């Protein structure tokens, strides 16, 4: 047997995502590179690790056993690395976060200085929709989760990071842009939705339901970036978080449409299970957030605060 740690890492990610494409994305590798490493690992066994039926990849029973062994092996390797760093007096270990998809515009700035100060920390960051974020927290798979809508059925503690504002936006390329209107304008526009389980969709649907609006759903897309590009292309309108559309607003690719009752407001919260026992790394990160969040917001998000203030004036 000549399999490598790299092959085991890739195979484990494939078993977790049930997809070569998704595994490649999460590992920041190309799809062909992941496929080659899977084949090289498979060539060392005469029993299939995976099988493809239709367009869906399935892990065989034997593959599932190998994945369990791979996870244990990789865990031991990480432990060796962490113990070595700890022996040198460095804070080391894994910091595991799950973040709602629009949170990817926020979380890097709250992590950057912390990770630079502690080179021995390995970050495991899952960017996904709200439903999956809450699921990973409930299963205690992560240390913290970043959400803009607090879970209703989970007992958590939290620290507020910064405000989240959602506006109705349309393409800045439209020859006759929609003017300021009351909320009934949403009934006249083709609206682009995020997928079920998205925090943005949840907030948008609450607004629509509150005002008993009959909104035409033009399409449903599974990421904020996809929605943004569809709106830029003139395929419809959507209620989107300001945090993710800064460049498009500055470039004139998107425009905000003033509507009564907007923007919708929520707060980015870092949450964790109540009574959770923190690792030294997780405890240090929470302390970092408590001490540095005000400075980070002032340094990195002053444009956000200024924009919101200008819209309210």
Q: What was the pLDDT predicted at 88?
A: 60
Between these two residues, 116 and 76, which has the higher pLDDT value? 116
Q: What was the pLDDT predicted at 83?
A: 66
Q: What was the pLDDT predicted at 180?
A: 63
Q: What was the pLDDT predicted at 312?
A: 64
Q: Which of 50-64, 76-90, 146-160, 163-177 has the lowest mean pLDDT?
A: 76-90
Note the pTM of the prediction, 2 decimals.
0.69
Q: How confident is the model at residue 253 (pLDDT cuts 50, 70, 90)?
A: very high
Per the prediction, the chain carries an average pLDDT of: 87
Q: How confident is the model at residue 238 (pLDDT cuts 50, 70, 90)?
A: very high
Question: Which domains occur in the chain, in start order?
Answer: 5-78 (1.10.10.10), 90-162+268-312 (3.40.190.10), 163-266 (3.40.190.290)
Q: What was the pLDDT predicted at 54?
A: 82
Rounded average pLDDT over 165-193 = 83
Rounded average pLDDT over 19-26 = 88
Non-local CB neighbours of 121 within 8 Å, separated by 6+ positions = 91, 92, 93, 94, 95, 114, 115, 281
Q: Which of 131-145, 178-192, 232-246 has the lowest mean pLDDT?
A: 178-192
Which helix (H) or strand (E) segment holds residue 294: the answer is helix 280-300
Q: What was the pLDDT predicted at 313?
A: 57
Q: What was the pLDDT predicted at 89?
A: 59
Q: Is the pLDDT of residue 219 over 60?
A: yes
pLDDT in tens, 83-138: 665 556 567 788 999 999 889 999 999 999 999 988 888 899 998 888 889 999 99
Q: What was the pLDDT predicted at 288?
A: 92
Q: Is the pLDDT of residue 82 over 80?
A: no
Burial annotation 78-100 (CB, 10 A radius, 16+ → b, else e): eeeebeebeeeeebbbebbbbbb
Reported for 226-235, long-range contacts at CB under 8 A and 24+ positions apart, including other chains, are 227/192, 227/194, 228/254, 230/192, 231/169, 231/170, 231/171, 231/192, 232/171, 232/172, 232/173, 233/171, 234/171, 234/173, 234/174, 235/190, 235/192
């Amino acid at each position: 047997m000549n399999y490598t740690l790299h092959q085991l890492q890739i195979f484990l990610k494939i078993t977790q995502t049930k997809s070569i494409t998704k595994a490649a994305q999460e590992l920041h590798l190309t799809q062909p590179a992941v496929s080659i490493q899977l084949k090289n690992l498979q060539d060392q066994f005469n029993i299939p690790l995976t099988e493809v039926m239709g367009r869906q990849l399935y892990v065989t029973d034997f593959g599932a056993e190998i994945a369990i062994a791979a996870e244990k092996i990789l865990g031991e390797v990480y432990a060796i690395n962490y113990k070595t760093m700890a022996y040198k007096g460095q804070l080391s270990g894994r910091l595991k976060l799950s973040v709602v998809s629009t949170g990817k515009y926020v979380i890097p700035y709250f992590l950057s200085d912390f990770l630079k100060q502690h080179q021995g920390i390995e970050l495991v960051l899952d960017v996904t929709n709200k439903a999956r974020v809450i699921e990973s927290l409930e299963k205690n798979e992560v240390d913290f989760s970043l959400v803009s809508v607090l879970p209703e059925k989970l007992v958590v503690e939290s620290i507020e990071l910064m405000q989240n504002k959602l506006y109705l936006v349309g393409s800045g390329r439209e020859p006759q842009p929609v003017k300021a209107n009351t909320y009934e304008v949403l009934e006249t526009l083709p609206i682009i939705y995020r997928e079920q389980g998205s925090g943005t969709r949840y907030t948008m649907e609450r607004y629509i339901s509150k005002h008993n609006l009959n909104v035409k759903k033009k399409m449903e897309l599974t990421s904020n970036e996809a929605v943004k590009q569809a709106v830029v292309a003139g395929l419809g309108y959507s209620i989107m978080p300001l945090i993710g559309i800064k460049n498009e607003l500055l470039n004139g690719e998107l425009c905000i449409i003033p509507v009564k009752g907007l923007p919708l407001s929520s707060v980015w919260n870092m949450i964790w299970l109540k009574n959770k026992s923190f690792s030294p790394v997780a405890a240090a990160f929470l302390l970092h957030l408590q001490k540095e969040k005000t400075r980070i917001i002032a340094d990195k998000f002053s444009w956000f605060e200024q924009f919101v203030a200008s819209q309210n004036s």
